[in-house]
Amino acid sequence: MGTYRVAAQIDSIAPEPATVITISVDGVAVDGLLGQTLAGVMLGSDIMAWRNTSFGDQPRGLFCGIGICFECLVVVNGQRDVRACQRRAASGDQIEFHRDLPVHVEDAESEGPS
């Protein structure tokens, strides 16, 4: 038995047609499919990073994808620290990126006096 893709017309599971939903990601309307996680919707729209680290200001997005690493945190409808890989997207969700994370002291000192 080989692997092959089953055409939708002959798929015995008979999946229902996908329902398109729209969420706002940092002020931009993004379409996804009902049942996708927030991370899935963002990755499907080529949004690969949605926060920066406190150490080194490095971009972060999806890492483990199973709710373990907390790399994928976003603000959802005003609620902070939501794991995008664990939260199903709902039409009308307002996603914002974490931009107010504290900067590590050594990073702040290396920027010089303000």
Q: Contact residues for ligand FES (CB under 6 A)? A: 62-65, 67-72, 83, 85
Q: Based on CB atoms, which residue is closest to ligand FES, 82 or 103? A: 82
- The full DSSP string for 5-71 is PPPGGG-TT-PPPPPEEEEEETTEEEEEETT-BHHHHHHHTT--EEEE-TTTT-EEE-SSSSSSS-T
Q: Based on CB atoms, which residue is closest to ligand FES, 60 or 104? A: 60
Instruction: Give the shortest CB-89-to-ligand FES separation in angstroms.
Output: 14
Instruction: Give the shortest CB-61-to-ligand FES separation in angstroms.
Output: 8
Instruction: Give the shortest CB-109-to-ligand FES separation in angstroms.
Output: 30
User: Is the Cβ–Cβ distance between 73 and 63 less than 8 Å?
Assistant: no
